[in-house]
């Protein structure tokens, strides 16, 4: 059985967390200096998944969860790039 190459990983019926998950574009927080990012709502800290320019970052390696709304990156995202957080809200 073939797997479609363009599946919606964040859709409401399937994907990372199905209908429970929330996808948030945090690109507006990128300033070329900061490594700390804040989500608009609290999340289950065990569910955070971060994508930088579409590439999944590893929690505990590139991403460190600070609290239920904040995480840091081990790198400084460049201005004009994309940072997306996916998580299950509390």
Name the helix (H) or strand (E) containing 52: strand 49-52
Q: Which domain holds residue 32?
A: 20-87
The answer to the question of residue 81 being in a domain is: yes
Instruction: Check residue 20 and give its pLDDT.
Output: 79
The answer to the question of residue 10 being in a domain is: no
The answer to the question of residue 11 being in a domain is: no
Record the pTM: 0.80
Instruction: Check residue 30 and give its pLDDT.
Output: 98
The answer to the question of residue 4 being in a domain is: no
The answer to the question of residue 37 being in a domain is: yes
The answer to the question of residue 7 being in a domain is: no
The answer to the question of residue 13 being in a domain is: no
5-47, pLDDT tens digit by residue? Answer: 444 444 444 456 667 799 999 999 999 999 999 999 999 999 9
The answer to the question of residue 60 being in a domain is: yes
**Number of compact structural domains in the chain:** 1
Per-chain mean pLDDT for the chain: 87
């Amino acid at each position: 059985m073939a797997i479609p190459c363009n599946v919606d990983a964040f859709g409401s019926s399937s994907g990372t967390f199905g209908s429970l998950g929330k996808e948030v574009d945090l690109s507006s927080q990128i300033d070329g200096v900061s490594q700390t990012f804040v989500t608009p709502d609290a999340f289950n800290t065990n569910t955070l998944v971060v994508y930088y320019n579409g590439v999944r970052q590893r929690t505990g390696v590139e991403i460190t969860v600070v609290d239920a709304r904040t995480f840091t990156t081990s790198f400084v995202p460049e201005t004009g790039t994309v940072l997306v957080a996916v998580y299950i809200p509390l």
